Amino acid sequence: MKHTVQEIELSNGAKGLFVHVPNASVMTFDINFRAGEYLVESAKWDVPHLREHVLLGANELIPRARDFQAELEKNGAYSNATTGVYDISYEAECADFEWDRVLGLLLIAIAKPLFLEEEFQAEFGNVQEEMVARSNNHFRRLSLEMRKSLGLIAKTDAERLELMSNVTVADVRAHYLRTHHTPNMRFVVAGNLTPARKDMLRKLFGTIDLPTKGERFELPSEVPNHLKKPVYVPNDNVENLYFYIDTFQNGRIDDAATDALNLINTMLTETLYSKILGTARERGLVYGMSSGLSQTKDASNWWFGAQVSDKNAPALLNIVVDELEKVLIGDISEDEIAATKQYALGRFQRSGQTVGGTAAGYSGRYFFDEVVENYYQIPARIKAVSKDQIIEVARSMFAEKMWGFGVLGNCGEAFATDLRQQLTPLWSNALKTAEAVHDGRSQ
């Protein structure tokens, strides 16, 4: 959607983005605090999550959770809150005609929660149910087990269920007081933001009744370990095995390298004709496969994952190794790169066809490191990716030999070890290739 973006810095320390989408019929609000699980002691891991559940409930204006939700949603508005390792975010979407009413209610909930004991107890039960449901997601279980083994900040859902009884409503109140101040608040508002509405938004965010002293907490340092054996999670109740491959490099890669890695990632797994997934499906080996990029404050990550039968797993990993090795030695054609760029450009255009989708294109990066992406430059960035950039960033992700492999299933640890062994040439060959390139340039 056509739009303009303006960054706002308020006198109370809050910062945010106004995303003006002319004539939009809806408005979205995303309000973020650096208040995630890394800020609490390990034994009270779910303090932020429980606090998030209770906050959009009873408040000084409407002292009962169901009544508050009924009032906020009476004209079809949507609201939600999410908690992660780093952040807590509150969001709402509503019809354009009631944007000020809905935002006013959301800000009241954030600034004037009551944290009633009876609502805490009810949400305690709801969070327990949520954790049990999440624990049935095998990809999630394996991912969390791997994060822990790699030295990243994580707890499994089973661990969280055991620790929940340590959390009291007093802990929830204390965490709120520690983290909910305006210098720690970031926001993204998207919709038909006329000059008059922008003035109203500045006033609403600038006068929210929260403390004005404090800080935007720093992201935690997370440096991944190299795993010398597979993370094996036994589960006799699944027929297929689930696996993840994680490879890292120290430091965060820049935007140009990210663009290049995203492009080769798309070429490898993101379509039914891609080089890994397409080949595997052509041979009847796997239904689906995923891969992606992520970053912490201190490292960059490229991952691959799938659910596959035990009998097909070795053949699938052979394809993974073969296709990645082709990338590492530069065996990709300009025609393949051009075709992948066309796909990426079309996908980008599809991603921003709603107000919420447009806002999401800014909020993730802005809340992480306060960088304002230039939406209109992204097509040019995609087109600018070169073959040399792709090869260089792919090699860099394997050159430091920081990687891990994990399996969930009933295949046995010995079989998981054999699968891991299939992958090891990727890191040794990438290092040799990088050294050869360096030596060639030095001569």
Q: Which amino acid is at 37?
A: E
Pairing between β-strand 78-83 and β-strand 88-95 as defined by DSSP bridges: antiparallel
What distance in Å separates the CA atoms of residue 231 and residue 213, rounded to the nearest whole number?
44
What distance in Å separates the CA atoms of residue 94 and residue 102, rounded to the nearest whole number?
7
Pairing between β-strand 241-250 and β-strand 88-95 as defined by DSSP bridges: unpaired
What distance in Å separates the CA atoms of residue 354 and residue 24, rounded to the nearest whole number?
9
What pLDDT is attached to residue 442? Answer: 42
What pLDDT is attached to residue 235? Answer: 97
What pLDDT is attached to residue 435? Answer: 56
Show the domains of the chain with their CATH numbers: 4-206 (3.30.830.10), 231-442 (3.30.830.10)
Bridge partner list, 234: 409
Residues in CB range of 104: below 8 A, 6 or more apart: 204
Q: Own/partner pairs for 121-129, CB < 8 Å, 24+ apart?
A: 123/50, 123/53, 123/54, 123/57, 124/50, 124/164, 124/167, 126/53, 127/46, 127/49, 127/50, 127/53, 127/164, 128/161, 128/164
Closest C-alpha among 312, 311, 306, 309 to residue 406: 306
Give 10-residue mean pLDDT values along the chain (443 residues).
Answer: 96 98 98 98 97 95 97 97 97 98 98 97 97 95 97 96 97 98 99 98 98 97 95 96 98 97 97 96 97 96 98 98 98 97 94 92 96 94 98 97 98 98 90 52 40
E strand intervals along 45-184: 78-83, 88-95
Where is 360: in which H helix or E strand? helix 355-369
What pLDDT is attached to residue 432? Answer: 61
Bridge partner list, 88: 33, 83
Residues in CB range of 392: below 8 A, 6 or more apart: 257, 260
What distance in Å separates the CA atoms of residue 327 and residue 78, rounded to the nearest whole number?
44
**pTM: predicted TM-score of the whole model, two decimal places:** 0.93
Where is 208: in which H helix or E strand? none
In eight-state DSSP terms, residue 329 is: T
What distance in Å separates the CA atoms of residue 412 and residue 358, rounded to the nearest whole number?
45
Pairing between β-strand 299-308 and β-strand 289-295 as defined by DSSP bridges: antiparallel
